[in-house]
Amino acid sequence: MPITDCELATDVRIPCPELVNLYGCRVGNQTSIGPFVEIQRGCTVGDRCKISSHSFLCEGVELEEHVFVGHGVMFTNDLLPASTNPDGSLKGANDWNLLRTRVSRGAAIGSNATILCGITIGESALIGAGAVVTQDVPAYAIVVGVPARVTGDIRSRTAVPPEVSRMTANEVAS
C-alpha cells in the first residue's frame, strides 16, 4: 500500500511502510504508525503520537500531540452516510457533509473504539476498549461503553505524563 502526497516529519516511525495506506496527510515528529493503518487526505497527526495497527483515520480527523490510538480504532466523518442521492445517482464529493473530529493532547483511545464525528475528545481523556463515542469527552475523563459514558478521571488512576501536566498547569494559570 502506498504513502503518497504526505508531509511526514523527519523522525516518523513506520516499521512496515509497505503495509500502510497514507495519502495527503500530515504526521508529526516521532509519531509511530503500525501496519494496516489508513490515514486519509486532510488528516493531521501531531508529534509523538502512537497509532496501533488496523486503525482508520478519515478526512477531518486531527490528533494533537502525544495521542495514543489503539488497535482497530475507527473514526468517522459522515453522520448520515448513504451510497446514493434521493434520485438514485451515486453520491459524489459534494453530496455529503464532512464533520471534523479533534483528539486533544495526551488522550488515549482503547482498541476497537468507534469515534463518531463532530466530536472533541478532551486532553488526556481515556476511551475504553470497544467504546462508541457519540459526544464530546471532557478532559481527563475515562469513558466506556456504548454509548460511551464517563466512569472516572484519569488523574485519580495514573500520573499524567510530565510534559502534559506542565502544559495544563500553564494553561490553567493563563
Ligand X SMILES: CC(C)(COP(=O)(O)OP(=O)(O)OC[C@H]1O[C@@H](n2cnc3c(N)ncnc32)[C@H](O)[C@@H]1OP(=O)(O)O)[C@@H](O)C(=O)NCCC(=O)NCCS
Interacting residue with ligand X among 60, 70, 72, 106 (CB under 6 A): 70
Radius of gyration of the chain (CA): 17
Q: What is the DSSP letter of 69?
A: E
Residue from the set 110, 116, 119, 139 that interacts with ligand X by CB under 6 A: 110
Q: Is 130 in the site for ligand X (CB under 6 A)?
A: yes
* Cα separation values, 139 from 6, 32, 66, 89, Å: 30, 24, 14, 42
Using CB under 6 A as the binding rule, whether residue 72 contacts ligand X is answered as no
Among 25, 128, 139, 140, binds ligand X (CB under 6 A): 128
Inter-residue contact 17 to 36 (CB < 8 Å): no
Of the two residues 111 and 134, which places its CB atom closer to ligand X in the complex?
111
Distance CA 156, CA 65 (A): 22
42 vs 124 by CB, closer to ligand X: 124
Which DSSP symbol is given to 137?
B
Give 98 or 150: the residue with its C-beta nearer to ligand X.
Answer: 150
Does 46 participate in binding ligand X (rule CB under 6 A)? Answer: no
- Contact flag: residue 28 with ligand X (CB under 6 A): no
Applying CB under 6 A, which of residues 111, 134, 149, 155 lies at the interface with ligand X?
A: 111
Site for ligand X in 140-159 (CB under 6 A): 142, 144-145, 151-152
| Strand order across the 141-144 sheet | 32-33, 50-51, 68-69, 108-109, 126-127, 141-144, 149-153
Question: Nearest Cα to 124, choosing from 158, 170, 149, 75?
Answer: 158
CB of 142 to ligand X, least distance (A): 5
| CB of residue 56 to ligand X, shortest distance in Å | 16
Determine the residue type at 103.
V
Residues at the contact surface with ligand X, assessed by CB under 6 A: 70, 110-111, 126, 128-130, 142, 144-145, 151-152
